[in-house]
Structure 1
Amino acid sequence: MTHYIDGFVLPVPRDQLQTYREVAEKVAKIWKEHGALDYSEYVGDDANLEGTRSFSEAADAKEDEVVIFGWVAFESREARDLVNKRVAADPRMTDLISPLMNTSRPIFDAERMVYGGFRPLV
């Protein structure tokens, strides 16, 4: 496999999970329209292993939050850069993301999101 991925972990308030899911489903379609091969997000279910740092700790998740783990797959890093540039310029993204981050109780806190681009190893 020679794909490149962007991976991310972020906390979401439990009582806002359905709203987050609705937005994530729309965001996934936009990323794929612009060339992403896959867009997946999962809700943490069993994220603790004794002796390790958990995803909850990494994302500074509070008791009333769940942890989302996701990734977007691309053909290459160059393709990722192009797709992400197109997504950032897509006006639908502003309409979708702004309400999540700019409310009195944000659903998405970018400062607590853990993110990175990854090349294949195994």
Structure 2
Amino acid sequence: MPYIDGFVLAVPTANKQKFIDHATQGDSVFLEYGATRILECWGDDVPDGKQTDFRRAVQAKEDETVVFSWIEWPDQATRDAGMAKAMHDPRLKPEVNPMPFDGMRLIYGGFAPVVELGAKA
């Protein structure tokens, strides 16, 4: 069963290309350590909610865009081993690949799928 790491963050809209460059460089490390797929999604239709929403979750400011990302792993064991290696990889250090956003407002978690549907080929 696949395992998913999910992320929500606020990126200054003016830093879109810097974010793409940062993600491209950093995401390759996760692929090297066993991830099978990574998506970085730039907010396009992120409505304000009545009680909570993505923007409030990361305290996004007016000049920021919400990014929703995930890393797919083949299973949790591969994720645990790969993530441990990635967190010690110098290519992910801020001095090598600086984050073009406030990392203190990034939220993340690991998720075990309970329903998976797909179109039949």
Q: TM-score range by the shorter chain?
A: 0.7 to 0.9
Letter in 2 for 1:53: T
Q: Deviations over 1:35-60 (max 9, x none)?
A: 10111110111111654522111111
Partner of 2:42: 43
Letter in 1 for 2:45: D
Classify 1:39/1:47 alpha carbon distance in 2 versus 1 (closer, same or farther; 3 Å).
Answer: same
Q: Please, which runs of 5 or more residues in structure 2 have no aligned partner?
A: 116-121
Q: State which of 109, 113, 117 in structure 2 corresponds to 1:120.
A: 113
Q: Please, which runs of 5 or more residues in structure 1 have no aligned partner?
A: 101-106
More helix by share: 1
Q: Distance in 2 between matches of 1:28 and 1:58?
A: 23
Classify 1:58/1:14 alpha carbon distance in 2 versus 1 (closer, same or farther; 3 Å).
Answer: same
Matches within 5 A, 1:16-27: 16-27=15-26
User: What is the percent sequence identity of the aligned residues?
Assistant: 38
Q: Distance in 2 between matches of 1:34 and 1:3?
A: 15
- After alignment, is 50-59 or 66-75 more displaced? 50-59
SS in 1 for 2:21: helix
CA contact (8 A) 2:8 2:68 kept: yes
Q: TM-score, normalised by structure 2?
A: 0.86
Q: Which of structure 1's runs of 4+ aligned residues deviate more than 6 A?
A: none
Across the two proteins, how many residue pairs are aligned to each other? 113
